[in-house]
Amino acid sequence: MNQQAATSSDAAFLSAFHHVATIGATDNSGVDRQALTPEDKQTRDWMREWAVAHGFEVRVDAIGNMFACLQLVPDDAAGQNDETLAEATSPATTDTTPTGTTPTGTNPAKATPTDTAPYVLIGSHLDSQPLGGRFDGAYGVIAGLFAALRVKEQFAESGLQPTFNLAVVNWFNEEGGRFAPSIMGSSVYAGLFDLDEMLAVTDLDGTSVSEALTAIGYAGTDTPPEAISYAEIHIEQGRILEREATDIGVVEASWYTQKLDIDVLGEQSHTGATAMADRHDALVAAAKVVLAVAEVVDEFEEEALVSSVGQHVVEPNSPIVVPRRVHMVADLRSSDPTIVQAARDSLKKQIAEIARAHDITINVEDFDIRDKRRFPTEGVELAEKAVANEGLSIRRLETMAGHDSVAMNHRVPAVMMFVPSVDGVSHCEREFTTDDDMLRGVRVLASVAGELVHGELAEVCDGAVWVGSSVAEVRA
Amino acid sequence: MNQQAATSSDAAFLSAFHHVATIGATDNSGVDRQALTPEDKQTRDWMREWAVAHGFEVRVDAIGNMFACLQLVPDDAAGQNDETLAEATSPATTDTTPTGTTPTGTNPAKATPTDTAPYVLIGSHLDSQPLGGRFDGAYGVIAGLFAALRVKEQFAESGLQPTFNLAVVNWFNEEGGRFAPSIMGSSVYAGLFDLDEMLAVTDLDGTSVSEALTAIGYAGTDTPPEAISYAEIHIEQGRILEREATDIGVVEASWYTQKLDIDVLGEQSHTGATAMADRHDALVAAAKVVLAVAEVVDEFEEEALVSSVGQHVVEPNSPIVVPRRVHMVADLRSSDPTIVQAARDSLKKQIAEIARAHDITINVEDFDIRDKRRFPTEGVELAEKAVANEGLSIRRLETMAGHDSVAMNHRVPAVMMFVPSVDGVSHCEREFTTDDDMLRGVRVLASVAGELVHGELAEVCDGAVWVGSSVAEVRA
């Protein structure tokens, strides 16, 4: 066994995973590594050092995405691959994305001159929610690093010629807790979000993404590797796999999601000197809005819609002042877009009534609408084949949560896989997945990545523009 | 007309008042001068410079209270006044305050050796709520400065011998928006709050009072003047005087108030991946608590109780995370203490039900209980006489809001007066009182202060311990 075989072992994976879980560790086994904090920098530094030590070349792009690149296609094969590249990536130049922006952080039409072929990207994100779990995102990046080493070993052992190169990516700010919107780095890469707009986004303290990237030394200038396909493995964050004792989930489609920006504008007054009848208390009206958002799910079938208010800021937030303003963000998600739209319409009506009853202004704006999107059937079948080869069980499902793979699926064919989550909990410290389940996932990811490097899924683009699939196709 | 007569004129008062309103001025005619901010420092610097320029000696005590002192009693009269002093202030040493603390910021049993007699204190506070009004507090301090000059002039012109000295006070942190509890500086002076405990209080950013005082250069070391009586003039922050077209209000008693610290502890989870049935959303439960606090007033007669939640902080406050915690402060006030107690009991019961229904923990703690207190009848009558002498109208009322005078009324006999507030609004930018109403208030305050310096109200203590009056006496 050579040195790299030794370091791609199950034991080495578990050692690396549990080491990374100590960075930003919280008292109750979680982690707190919001994007671009000192703790995020530490995990980034770890990834950079580990990747360089294991023969990867590390690139950082302008939005802070990190790519650990393995050039599997030798220089002398570059000429042969140029043709494949031109054919496979020409769609990117005509891709009309939902937001109508063009990718500014990437150069999709052309491989970097030094690259021998486009890259299969695999990965996820190392940032976390505040007091988040240690598996969400980090598992997918570390699984990606070990899967990539195994793919390299397999090609070296088999003597086969890889069609594409392979890179492991740590996407910037998937969580969106500090800088909204979430899934930021992969969306910029995929051309869904504008780079400059995202660099100007500020956190609640007024620090911009651009300033925060510079502060931790990750405002990159590298041209990122050009993707030909994408694969990601993630914890399920639901109970389906656990309940059905299934090893792996493969995602057929992402849920339709949208947010509502709700601004409740009352009038500030003295809590101790203003008659109740004279008040225009923004918080009392906001409380009714919070309950309306929670209860709108009852208008539909059980669990057909999930809703929440996660961000909710009171001004001036003084114990003896009647609040003048509450600014909140509501989140609506369903497998069925018409349910989200009906819930939104119902809420807008109810909120207008609350505003009238309290004689105050409540502004409601739609934002961050993410269409339901199908993942390519060829990718689902590829995962099913890989799982069968490993002697494991698999089922198809949809994802309620957003993921980097959902953004990447706009740009290139993507495969999204899940491993089980104990109790289905996530975004909290008691999020848990067993070592055995994680190791099964690494094996399956390595198998899928090997097929992609070999050229699988590239043919999805053959003679057709890859623009993902709209909800209309999914529902048809 | 000498120089000081000129500078105590109505025009000079209005000029000074409207100048101070420019410090920390907001877009909509309010001010934002929370305690110990750069804007608070600017108003403090203004007061110090103005007072020194007009012959006052300025002292700053350990909690940051500022005293502009006029020594009206000449040195050769000190012996005569020592006796009055000993008699009048002996109660202070036996005063058992409601919180059982002893005054640490003051030295009430003894006048500073250099002082010729105890002081009549008049004043209010220069700090404001965030986006607060320009009248609340600042009016009382600036009115105090001009009233003090007039008293000095009157004694000089009449040739009469003052019994006491006179000082104008700017109390630290009356508002409590940044550092809780409110009415902090006067409560420390009056011995109701412990100095060291208050110096250790931190704002939401973790900055302590002690650090913030040092940062703006107002961590004082002076022994404050020793009070013999206290008078304050303030905007009403209600509609009674305006509705009845009355010039001046005199306060008979303060309302009973208490706060509830309510900590809603749910469980953090992913908004997009957690089934509604699996959530323990702290914000949804908190919204029900906010509504319960607002609606508990309906259990009593109209306007017999006022309630509010002014402070309400959500954690982790991320758009795609189900909130794990909401920490809020509720405020209950009534003229009748039994109503506050009944409301509190009702809320505790309702909150326990909300916690059970959501399977989460909600901790509720009583704090900042302020007993209903009577102001001395002799002071009320003194104000009525002064108003009559000025040819103005007056009525008695109670104060729903807390004031520095309420704290001072624990320590020495206090007179609290109001001028009308347009529309009764306060703690907001559109707070307003006319120049004419302010000028009438300055005249009345000067008249009352003159009587106090002459020795009025000191006799309230003759042969009796002054401990204010408990609610039992008021209700008897």
Mean pLDDT of B315-320: 90
Confidence of residue B100 (pLDDT cuts 50, 70, 90): very low
Per the CB < 8 A criterion, the answer to whether B274 and B249 are in contact is no
A342: left (phi over 0), alpha (psi -120 to 50) or beta: alpha
Indicate yes or no: CB of A316 within 8 angstroms of CB of B130: yes
A192 to each of A176, A213, A256, how far by Cα in Å? 15, 20, 16
By C-alpha distance, the chain B residue nearest A326 is B312
The pLDDT score that the predictor gives to residue B181 is 86
Distance CA A173, CA A36 (A): 8
CA proximity to B237, closest of B419, B382, B26: B419
CB nearest to B426's CB, from A180, A270, A316: A270
pLDDT tens readout for residues A60-85: 999 999 999 999 999 876 555 444 44
pLDDT of residue B280: 94
SS3 readout for B311-341: EEEEECCCCCEECCEEEEEEEEEECCHHHHH
How far is it, in rounded angstroms, from Cα B417 to Cα B394?
10
Cα–Cα distances in angstroms (integers) from residue B265 to residues A102, B279, B419, in the given order: 44, 12, 44
For B65, the 3-state DSSP assignment is coil
- Asked if residue B99 has pLDDT above 80, the reply is no
Cβ distance of B271 and A313 shorter than 8 Å: no
A272 with B255: Cβ contact below 8 A: yes
> DSSP readout, A319-338?
TTEE--EEEEEEEEEESSHH
Distance CA B196, CA B210 (A): 9
> Whole-angstrom Cα distance, residue A197 to residue B159?
74
Cβ–Cβ < 8 Å for A145, A129 = no
pLDDT at A465: 38
Q: Which structure tokens are listed for B274?
A: 């957690």
**Where would I find the H helices in B21-72?**
38-53
* B199 phi-psi bin (left φ>0, alpha ψ -120 to 50, beta other): alpha
The string of pLDDT tens digits covering residues A422-439 is 988 888 899 999 999 999
CA nearest neighbour of A259 among A354, A367, A356: A367
pLDDT recorded at residue B472: 28
Q: What is the mean pLDDT of chain A?
A: 88
Task: Give the pLDDT confidence of A299-318 residue by residue, as tens digits.
Answer: 999 989 999 999 999 999 98
Q: State the DSSP H helix or E strand holding residue A213, giving kind and residue range, or none if neither.
A: helix A209-215
Do residue B283 and residue A272 have CB atoms under 8 angstroms apart? no
**Candidates B318, B366, B370, B400, partner chain A, best to mutate (most A CBs within 10 A):** B318
Residue with the larger pLDDT of the pair A104 and B54: B54
CB pair distance less than 8 Å for A319 and B176: yes
Could A311 and B291 be called an inter-chain contact, meaning their C-beta atoms sit closer than 8 Å?
Answer: no
A236 vs B contacts (CB less than 8 Å): 273
pLDDT tens digit sequence for B159-168: 999 999 999 9
Test A323 with B333 for CB contact under 8 angstroms: no
Asked if A132 and A175 touch (Cβ cutoff 8 Å), the reply is: yes
pLDDT of residue A105: 42
Q: Which 8-state DSSP code applies to residue A376?
A: P
From A443's Cα to the closest Cα of chain B, the distance in A is 25
Q: Is B10 exposed, middle or buried (0-12, 13-18, 19+ CB in 10 A)?
A: middle
Beta-bridge mates of residue B365: B261
Contact flag B237-A273 (C-beta cutoff 8 Å): yes
Helix H or strand E segment including A316:
none
Q: Which of A283, A290, A310 sits opposite B322 (nearest CB)?
A: A310
Q: Are B273 and A238 inside 8 Å of each other by CB?
A: yes
Instruction: State how far residue A442 is from chain B, nearest Cα, in angstroms.
Output: 22
**CA quadruple A26, A29, A33, A39: dihedral sign:** positive
pLDDT at B96 over 70: no
Q: What confidence tens digit (pLDDT) does each residue in B45-64 have?
A: 999 999 999 999 999 999 99
Count how many Cα atoms sit within 13 Å of the Cα of residue B204 in the half-sphere of its side chain.
15
pLDDT at position A469 is 39
A338/A7 Cα distance (integer angstroms): 49
Q: What residues have CB less than 8 Å from A133, skipping those under 6 apart?
A: A30, A31, A235, A425, A426, A427, A428, A429, A430, A431, A432
What's the confidence (pLDDT) of residue B470? 34
pTM: 0.75
User: Could you report the per-residue pLDDT of B355-382, keeping only the tens digit for each?
Assistant: 999 999 999 999 999 889 899 999 999 9
Q: What is the mean pLDDT of residues A289-294?
A: 98
Q: Are the beta carbons of A58 and A145 closer than 8 angstroms?
A: no
Q: Test B269 with A425 for CB contact under 8 angstroms.
A: yes
Q: pLDDT tens across B1-26, in order?
A: 444 445 789 999 999 999 999 999 99
Closest chain B residue to A306, measured at CA: B276
Q: Are B154 and B265 spatial neighbours (Cβ–Cβ below 8 Å)?
A: no
Question: By the 8 A CB rule, do B40 and B48 touch?
Answer: no
Does residue A162 come out as left (phi exceeding 0), alpha (psi in the -120 to 50 range) or beta?
beta
CA distance B316 to chain A (A): 6
- Distance of alpha carbon B200 from alpha carbon B215, whole angstroms: 14
Residue A424, min C-alpha distance to chain B (Å): 7
Report chain A's terminal Cα–Cα distance, integer Å: 51
Do residues A149 and A4 touch, judged by C-beta distance below 8 A?
yes
Of B319, B329, B425, the CB nearest to A331: B319
Average pLDDT of chain B is 88
- Distances in Å between the Cα of B413 and the Cα atoms of B92, B118, B228, B405 are 12, 14, 8, 9
pLDDT at residue A202 above 80?
Answer: yes
Which chain B residue shows the shortest CA-CA distance from A254? Answer: B272
Q: Which amino acid is at B25?
A: A
CB contact under 8 A, B177 and A294: no
Q: Which amino acid is at A431?
A: E
A-interface mutation test, from B298, B301, B320, most A Cβ less than 10 A away: B320
Reported confidence tier of residue A272, pLDDT bands at 50, 70, 90: confident
Given its phi and psi angles, is residue A457 left (phi above 0), alpha (psi -120 to 50 degrees) or beta?
A: left
Nearest to B424 among A278, A333, A428 (CB): A278
The C-alpha of A321 sits at a distance from chain B's nearest C-alpha, in angstroms, of 5
Statement: residue A472 has pLDDT above 90:
no
* Buried b or exposed e, range A23-41, using 16+ CB within 10 angstroms: bbbbeeebbbbbbbbebbb
Measured CA to CA in angstroms, residue A183 lies from A101, A177, A187, A189, A260 at distances of 16, 10, 6, 10, 17
- pLDDT at position B277 is 86
Tens of pLDDT, residue by residue over B439-466, are 999 999 999 999 999 999 986 753 333 4
Q: For an interface test with B, which of A308, A309, A431 has the most B Cβ atoms less than 10 Å from its Cβ?
A: A308
Q: How confident is the model at residue B86 (pLDDT cuts 50, 70, 90)?
A: very low
Rounded CA-CA distance B235/B250 in Å is 11
pLDDT band at B323 (very low <50, low <70, confident <90, very high): very high
CA distance A119 to chain B (A): 30
- Going by C-alpha positions, the residue among A240, A337, A340, A325 that lies closest to residue A286 is A325
Q: Model ipTM?
A: 0.75
What residues of chain A lie within 8 A of the CB of B131, using their CB?
Answer: 268, 316, 324
pLDDT of amino acid A113 = 53
The nearest CA of chain B is from the CA of A259 a distance in Å of 9
Hey, are the CB atoms on A177 and B316 less than 8 Å from each other?
A: yes
At A141-155, the pLDDT tens digits run 999 999 999 999 999
Nearest chain B residue to A292, by CA: B284
Q: How many CB pairs under 8 A join A and B?
A: 258
Q: Nearest-CA neighbor of A124 among A452, A381, A441, A422?
A: A441
* More confident: B413 or A88: B413
